Amino acid sequence: MKKVLLLFSLIVGVLNAQDFDVYLKNFDYQERQNMKIRMVEMLNLVEENKAQVIDIRFKEEFAVWSLGFTKNIPLNELPNRLNELDKSKLIVTACPHNDRANIARMFLKLKGYDVRYLSDGLLKAVDYLRGDNAKEFMEEYENGRK
């Protein structure tokens, strides 16, 4: 937890502190809802080509296992790779549980992106996308790309 807080503090330090102050002063229950997205909603938006999922794990983690519809931009590379994000889509940040995804979401939010973090985490998505669910999802995903 200390590492997450330290990393969050560093991100806030890099960003304009005034922007963060404004964000916090306006934070309410609606924003609390807006910062998260559940797995099923995310999958529907991906199928409809309305969301881009950014897996912010380290490249070694991504190489060991990944989902076929995510883009890997490790958290520590995110500031230098913003040009790879599709501003016309909802950006969904994801990691196994959601700690790093939430940090990435805050960074991108303060940079002006429409962004949410996957509250269920990638582990839940992997568990869900097995067998028939995987087949059905990938068929819809591929159809949405045509």
Q: What is the pLDDT of residues 16-72, one digit of tens each?
A: 666 778 888 888 888 888 889 999 999 999 999 999 999 999 999 999 999 989 999
Is the Cβ–Cβ distance between 54 and 84 less than 8 Å? Answer: no
Q: What is the pLDDT of residue 143?
A: 83
Q: What is the pLDDT of residue 59?
A: 95
In whole angstroms, what is the distance from residue 121 CA to residue 41 CA?
Answer: 13
Q: What is the pLDDT of residue 9?
A: 56
Question: With respect to CATH, is domain 2-145 assigned 3.40.250.10?
Answer: yes
In whole angstroms, what is the distance from residue 94 CA to residue 88 CA?
Answer: 19
Q: Whole-structure pTM over 0.75, yes or no?
A: yes
Residue 90 CA, chain-centre distance (Å), reads: 9
In whole angstroms, what is the distance from residue 38 CA to residue 93 CA?
Answer: 12
SS3 for 62-115, per residue?
A: HHHCCCCCEEECCHHHHHHCHHHCCCCCEEEEECCCCHHHHHHHHHHHHCCCCE
58 secondary structure, DSSP code: -
Token couple for 78: 């995110």
Domain ranges in the chain?
Answer: 2-145
Q: What is the pLDDT of residue 106?
A: 93
Q: What is the pLDDT of residue 36?
A: 95
Helix (H) or strand (E) holding 141: helix 131-145
pLDDT (mean) for 65-92: 96
Q: What is the pLDDT of residue 64?
A: 95
